[in-house]
A = this chain, B = another copy of it.
Amino acid sequence: MPQPASQSAPQPTSVQAQPCPLCAGAGGRVVFQDAHVRVVHVDEDPALPAFYRVIWQRHVREWSDLDEGAQIHCMRILTALERAMRATIAPDKINLASLGNMVPHLHWHVIARYTWDAYYPAPIWAAPHTRAEDAPTERLQGLQWLKDQRPQLEERMRSACAEAPALLE
């Protein structure tokens, strides 16, 4: 439900007493941005070096708060990121998710997943099945390789995103 702006009863958004963190800050290292979206690298979990977010610049709560032109633009950015990942780091699977329970400002998680990663095949929000210090050699090598590929991956992401024509100027 759209939240009424002037109402004293508790609203879902009032879970955050703080200002919205995705309005107050970038929410990560910015890889690409235009007037509508920004793409940030998420450096919150060393077990997931190829984790990005697409953040809608304007504060909206749900995907369905966007009109169709805005949705298509957002979708093109997600697709551009997926294709850049597939071309450079060949994930075993890509995970996309728009949750926002903690931070209800529209953002999409875009996560490259590998059969050797610490959560696979579970979603990354499950408990990791092995501790970091028990990581097998394959995983340690994979993590290092992903870090090494990052400049090339992000350059490709920037090119692919820049080619996504905005429908909503």
Q: Which residues does A use to contact B, with CB under 8 Å?
A: 1, 12, 15, 61-64, 68, 71-72, 75-76, 78-79, 82-83, 86, 90-102, 104, 113, 115, 120-123, 125-127
Contact = CB atoms under 8 A, between A and B. Distances in A.
A15 to B, nearest CB: 7
Contact of A97 (B76, B90, B96): B96
A113 B93 contact: no
A69 to B, nearest CB: 11
B62 A86 contact: yes
Nearest to A87: B1
Contacts of A75: 71-72, 75
Contacts of A97: 95-99, 123
Given A75-B75, A90-B1, A95-B99, A122 B125 contact: yes
A127 to B, nearest CB: 7
User: Quick one: copies of this chain in the complex?
Assistant: 2
A134 B89 CA distance: 45
Given A79-B71, A101-B122, A102-B121, A64 B86 contact: yes
Given A79-B71, A90-B1, A96 B12 contact: no
A93 B15 CA distance: 12
A101 B121 contact: yes
A68 B125 CA distance: 29
A29 to B, nearest CB: 23
Contact of A123 (B83, B113, B125): B125
Nearest to A12: B92
